[in-house]
Structure formats: structure tokens, C-alpha cells
């Protein structure tokens, strides 16, 4: 039986910070040796936080890399449902308090 990981925003951020343990886990997911799960909410938060620090272009490239990494959404959310909201917030189009 394959191992399983549920990936939150923190490990996604650590991956691009160069954390070797997290990179190893993502290699296992991409290689199909373990299953990896996340949800649209985590991807939206990852996009927003990356956008804050590095800009929209970098955020879009990094988000796309996770979308093609083998991670699955166990809830079957429509792709980019929350992502559109995160992009609007990053552009200042959303009121939050």
C-alpha cells in the first residue's frame, strides 16, 4: 500500500525555500511512489502568499508547477475556483478585513 501525504500551504512554501526534506517528499509524489493530496484553498493561499513576496508572474509559475506535480484534490473542487479569488485579492480587487 502506498503512503499518503496531505500537503498544506507551509510545505509548498518550504519547497521553494529549498527545504531538502520537503523536496524529497514532493519527488516521491511526482514519481508516484506515494500519494499526495491538497485542496484548492491551499493552492489559492500559496498563490496569494507567493504573489505578496515575489509578484504575480512568479506566483503563477510556481502554482502551475504544483498543479502538474501529481497532487490530487480529494474533494474534487473545480480547478482554480479559489485561485481566481486569490488572484483578485492579490490585485487588490477584494475587500477583506
Q: pLDDT at position 53, please?
A: 94
Q: What is the mean pLDDT of residues 7-15?
A: 94
- Tell me how far apart the alpha carbons of residues 63 and 44 are, in angstroms, rounded to a whole number: 9
Residue 97 lies in a domain: no
Q: pLDDT at position 2, please?
A: 79
Tell me the pLDDT tens digit for each residue of 43-84: 889 998 999 999 989 999 998 888 888 888 766 665 555 555
Residue 95 lies in a domain: no
Host domain of residue 61: 3-89
pTM of the model: 0.76
Q: What is the mean pLDDT of residues 36-42?
A: 87
The distance of Cα 73 from the centroid of its chain, to the nearest Å, equals: 11
Cβ–Cβ under 8 Å, residues 61 and 21: no
Domain count, the chain: 1
Residue 94 lies in a domain: no
Residue 96 lies in a domain: no
Average per-residue pLDDT for the chain: 82
Q: pLDDT at position 87, please?
A: 60
Residue 61 lies in a domain: yes
Amino acid at each position: 500500500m502506498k503512503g499518503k501525504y496531505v500537503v498544506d500551504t507551509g510545505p509548498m512554501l518550504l519547497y521553494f525555500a529549498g527545504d531538502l526534506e520537503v523536496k524529497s517528499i514532493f519527488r516521491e509524489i511526482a514519481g508516484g511512489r506515494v500519494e499526495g493530496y491538497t485542496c484548492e484553498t491551499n493552492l489559492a493561499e500559496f498563490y496569494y502568499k507567493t504573489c505578496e513576496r515575489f509578484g504575480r508572474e512568479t506566483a503563477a509559475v510556481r502554482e502551475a508547477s504544483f498543479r502538474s506535480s501529481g497532487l490530487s484534490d480529494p474533494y474534487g473542487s473545480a480547478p482554480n475556483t479559489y485561485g481566481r479569488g486569490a488572484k483578485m485579492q492579490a490585485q487588490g480587487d477584494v475587500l477583506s478585513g
